[in-house]
Amino acid sequence: MEALSPLREGPDPNEAAMDVAGDLSKSMIKFYRRYPSITHRQHRSFSLQIHASLCRLMLTITMASEEQVKNSTAPAMFDTEAANCLMKELRSTFLAGKTKSYEWRSSQLKSLLKMLEDSDKQICDALFSDLSKPEMEAYIHEIAMIKSSCKLALKKLKDWMKPEKAKTNLGTFPSSAEIVPEPLGVVLIISAWNYPLLLSVDPVIGAIAAGNAVVLKPSELAPAMSSLLAKLLGKYLDNSAIKVVEGAVPETSALLEQKWDKIFYTGNGRVARVVMAAAAKNLTPVVLELGGKSPVLVDSNIDLTVTARRIVSGKWGCNNGQACVAPDYIITTKQYAPVLIDSLKHHLVKFFGEDPMNSPDMSKVGHSRHFARLKKLLDDDKISGKIIHGGQTDKSNLKIAPTIVLDAPEDSLIMSEEIFGPLLPIVTVEKIEDGVEFINSRPKPLAAYLFTNTKQLKEEFVSNISAGGVVINDVTLHLMVDTLPFGGVGESGTGAYHGKFSFDAFSHKKAVLYRGFFGDAPARYPPYTPGKLRLLKALLDGSLFGIIRALFGFS
C-alpha cells in the first residue's frame, strides 16, 4: 500500500549500508581467524569503533537520499484515511479465510523463524544502535526467546487448533459438545522500546498461530528496530495479512480509531488507560502488558553469593533495569542490609568492572526523555545523602552508573513510581515478615521475588502476595518458562501470554453443542404442569432416580 511505504526509486540507502556492514563483518571474521589470541575487550572496542563509523556512514547516505525523496514526492502521512484503507485491506484478507488454514499459519511461522535466522546480525546492530544492548543480551533476551517461542508454536500448532471435547449433562442428553478455538479477526499489537524485538514479535507469533490478520506498531523510541521490523516483516511475511505501521502518537491515534478485534498493548499504565478507553468504544477486548514496582524480598538465611549474582544480573544485566520484570526495589532486614549491600557491590564490580559507565556489557538508558526522568529521581531532595553506591550520570552518552539507594523514604519519587532503570533502592524492615505487609500496601506488581530458605515464609509469600508472577530464589526467570502465563494483575496489566497462553490470547473459544432430533423431554415446552416442574428439577439435578420417579408420576 502506497500510504505505508512511500515508493522510492533506485537502491535503498539503508540496504546499501547493510551490505557494507555485511562485507565488513565478513572481513572481521577473517581477521579474527588469523589472530585468534585477540582478547574479548579488544574485540569489543574494535567492533564499537567500526559500528560508530558505520552509523555515521549510514546517516550520511540516508540524509542524502532523504533530500532526494523530498525533491521528488512529499512523504505520505499515516492518518485516519490511511488507517481506514489498511483496515479494509486486512479485513478482506481475513474474511477471505486465508489466515485460518493451518498451512498459512505454519508457513508464516516458518518464514518468521527463517527471518530470525537470516537476520541475527542486523537485529543485533539495531539493538545496539537503539539501546547499546550487548550482543549477548540481544541474543538471550530477544532473539533466542522468540526463536524458541516460534519453534514451540510450530510444534504445538496442530494440538492448539484442535477442538476440545466438553462434557454434557443429563439436562441436554443426548448431545455432544466441544470448544472450538477460532481467530478473533484483525488485531493490533502496540509494542515497547525496551525489548523492541521480543515485545513486537512474540505477540505477533501468538496472533499468527491463532490465525489472525495483524498490524504491528513498533515503538518509535527504538527507531532502528522499528524500521528493521518494517523491512523484515515486509520481506518475509504475507503482506496481505501482516503489516507494520511505524510512527508515534499521531499514527497510534489513527490506528486506535479503527475497530479491532483485539488490541495487545505493552507499555505503561497511563497509555494503557487511553488504549482501553479507545477499545471500549468498539467493545474490543484488550491485553495490557504493563509494569509496576516489582519487589525483591531478601531473607537472611540464604546463599548470599548466589542471591547477589542473581539480583545484580537481573537488575543491571537485563537491559540495565529497563525491563518490565526487573527488580525495582529490595526489602531486607536492618541487620542484613549491610551484608547484602557489600555483596551486591562486589558482584557489580565483578560483572561490569571498576568503571561500569564504560562497560561494554551494560545497556544505555533508552532515550533522552527517559534519562531526564531518571535524573529527576536521583536529584530528589528526599534521597540526598542516601545514595551509597554509584550515582554518576553521563548525559551525552545516556549512561547512568548502577546506583544503590539505602532507606529512601516511602514518599520519595524513587519509591513512588516505577524506576525502569539502573537505580536500586533498598528498604529495610525490622522483621522479614513485615516485607509482605509492605508489598501488599502498594499496587499489585507484575512480578514479586523472594530469596529465602524458610518454607513458611515461602508459603506466606506465595499465597498472600498478589502479583502477575512470583519467583522464589531467583529473578525474572519465569519469563522464560513458556508453560507459565505471563501477564499482570490490577495495575500491572490485564491478560496473559507466552506459549499456549499467547494462542489463547488471540483466540475466541467457541462453545459448540450438537444435538440430534431424538430424546426430546416434553418438560421443556409449554403448556407447563407441576409434573414437568418435578421432572425438570430432577433433570437439572442430574439424579437418575429423581427422573424416573418424576416420569412415573411419584413425587
**Of 329 and 501, which has the nearer Cβ to another protein?**
501
**Of 7 and 511, which has the nearer Cβ to another protein?**
511
The DSSP annotation for 204-219 comes to HHHHHHTT-EEEEE--
The single residue of 124, 150, 318, 324 carrying the catalytic annotation is 324
**Of 200 and 359, which has the nearer Cβ to another protein?**
359
In 119-244, the DSSP E strands lie at 164-166, 175-183, 186-190, 213-217, 242-244
CB 334 to another protein: min, Å: 23
**Of 80 and 529, which has the nearer Cβ to another protein?**
529
The DSSP annotation for 417-478 comes to S---SSEEEEEEESSTTHHHHHHHTSPPPSEEEEE-S-HHHHHHHHHH---SEEEESSSSGG
CB 130 to another protein: min, Å: 18
**Of 310 and 380, which has the nearer Cβ to another protein?**
310
**Of 517 and 554, which has the nearer Cβ to another protein?**
517
| CA-wise closest residue to 492 among 549, 438, 442 | 442
Query: Is 289 one of the catalytic residues?
Result: yes
CB 53 to another protein: min, Å: 21
At residue 296, what are phi and psi to the nearest 5 degrees? -125, 120
CB 182 to another protein: min, Å: 6
In the block, cell 491463532 appears at: 210
CB 519 to another protein: min, Å: 10
Query: Is 324 one of the catalytic residues?
Result: yes
In the block, cell 437418575 appears at: 544
SS3 520: coil
Residues 133 and 124: their CA atoms lie apart, in Å, by: 8
Q: Which amino acid is at 332?
A: T
Using omega within 30 degrees of 0 as the cis cutoff, is the peptide bond preceding 174 cis? yes
CB 380 to another protein: min, Å: 26
Residues 164 and 179: their CA atoms lie apart, in Å, by: 5
- Report how far Cα 305 is from the mean position of its chain's Cα atoms: 30
The single residue of 289, 318, 418, 491 carrying the catalytic annotation is 289
Active site residues: 289, 324
